[in-house]
Structure 1
Amino acid sequence: MRLTGVQKAALCRWHERINSMEGRRERASLRRSGELQEAWLAEGFRSLLLTPAFKEYCGDRHQAWRFNALAVVAAVLAHVRHHDERRPFTAQLGRMAPGESKPRFSELRFMRLQRASSSDDLLRQLRRAVRMLEGTANITDLADGVFCWFKEEDARLRHCVLSQQPGEFIHVRWAMDYYQAGSEDDAQQNSADDSAETNNQ
């Protein structure tokens, strides 16, 4: 499940607006939403839902998971200040904090995110992740992941089989991005250490 280019552009415009003075009330309504049902009623969610890019797509009663996915996306993105699309969202979580040898988002916290068992739990775990990133995240990749999570959860509850390659399932994608980010940082650090050692000889 991937959002279209039109939907991603609409999401970015909405996110930019709720982070402006004009949209601060909408952002505040979402930041107060601790659970999915509260997000449904938030003014900020309605403003995103009613955009042409999402109104019909998320209004299909036969695909209610889309409505719930968008509500979680809105509630989480209300805590993101800056959109950074240079790396996937969970790769950002797996990056080492400056001067540290551990990821910004610990492996234990990442496993809790992977084990999220409900919409409310997913919302809580993603909000915690955004806080650990200090409000800077890849919002379009995060949104893609949330929609994938809800689609796969809906298929599981309906006992449907999704025609996807193993690496396309969201838990696999998230894990690959998270752990590969840490490996890249390790490789860069080792390279820097080798260079420093060579220069000191």
Structure 2
Amino acid sequence: MSDRFSRDNAYGTILLNWWQKLEDDRASRAILRRASTVTAVALSAPYQRLYRRFQAAGWNANSVSAHDDRLAAIVGLLAHVTQDQPGSPAKAMSHKAPGEDRPLVSELRFTRLLESPDVDSLFAGLRRVLPIMEHRVDVIALADDILFWGDDRKKRWAYAYDWPARSAD
């Protein structure tokens, strides 16, 4: 099985079920929300318990890899998500609040996310963005984008974001 997330595979199912049960597991949610770095998430008991479930399903069965840090980032960020809202995370960032003419996540802040060179900086940026988005994002889409963060995903986000028009446009 390839290491990716979808609503139709074991990894996506494990992640979505865990996230749904997190609502009732306030202690684990609190521990993960307080984790301010990917390393802090990876060292936490709630993450390690979930990580064992992924391993049992075949996740990186041969060795510890960069995917493990990305999984830790995903878990740490999903602890901040309260509503699974279908669609592209980038599209959700560009939604406008009722009565507003600006996107929830400003063009500058979004550009800084796109410039994230690694999972640690992406994690830090998204921790600041999720409250602006009222903690709503597509759980599986965000997880898959973080897992495969790189030039391809950055381009997908750039195309999905509804860039505000300027008067000179």
TM class by shorter chain equals: 0.7 to 0.9
SS in 2 for 1:51: helix
SS in 1 for 2:100: coil
| Equivalent position to 2:42, from 18, 21, 40 | 40
Unaligned ranges ≥5, structure 1: 154-168, 184-201
Contact 2:119–2:146 (CA under 8 A) maintained in structure 1: no
* Structure 1 or 2: more helix by fraction: 1
Q: Which residue in 2 is equivalent to 1:176?
A: 159
The structure-2 alpha-carbon separation of the partners of 1:81 and 1:53, relative to structure 1 and needing over 3 Å to count, comes to farther
Contact 1:7–1:54 (CA under 8 A) maintained in structure 2: no
Contact 1:59–1:67 (CA under 8 A) maintained in structure 2: no
Q: Partners in 1 of 2:13 and 2:57 — Cα distance?
A: 15
Q: Partners in 1 of 2:28 and 2:83 — Cα distance?
A: 17
Q: Pairwise mapping of residues 111-122 of structure 1 onto structure 2 (< 5 A)?
A: 111-122=111-122
Instruction: Report how far residue 82 of structure 1 moved.
Output: 1.1
SS in 1 for 2:148: helix
Contact 2:4–2:11 (CA under 8 A) maintained in structure 1: no
Q: Partners in 2 of 1:173 and 1:18 — Cα distance?
A: 29
Q: Which residue in 2 is equivalent to 1:78?
A: 79
Instruction: Report how far residue 7 of structure 1 moved.
Output: 1.5
Larger relative contact order (C-alpha < 8 A, sep ≥ 6)?
A: 2
Equivalenced residue count is 161
Unaligned ranges ≥5, structure 2: none
Q: Partners in 2 of 1:54 and 1:113 — Cα distance?
A: 33
| Equivalent position to 2:31, from 1, 12, 29 | 29
Instruction: Report how far residue 119 of structure 1 moved.
Output: 2.6
Instruction: Report how far residue 179 of structure 1 moved.
Output: 2.5
Q: Which residue in 2 is equivalent to 1:134?
A: 134
Q: Which residue in 2 is equivalent to 1:146?
A: 146
The structure-2 alpha-carbon separation of the partners of 1:79 and 1:138, relative to structure 1 and needing over 3 Å to count, comes to same
Q: Which residue in 2 is equivalent to 1:100?
A: 100
Q: Partners in 2 of 1:96 and 1:35 — Cα distance?
A: 29
% identical equivalent positions:
27
Q: Partners in 1 of 2:17 and 2:123 — Cα distance?
A: 22
Structure of larger gyration radius: 1
The one-letter code sitting in structure 2 at the alignment partner of 1:106 is: S
Q: Partners in 2 of 1:31 and 1:60 — Cα distance?
A: 29
The structure-2 alpha-carbon separation of the partners of 1:38 and 1:93, relative to structure 1 and needing over 3 Å to count, comes to same
The one-letter code sitting in structure 1 at the alignment partner of 2:76 is: A
Q: Which residue in 2 is equivalent to 1:65?
A: 66
Contact 1:89–1:138 (CA under 8 A) maintained in structure 2: yes
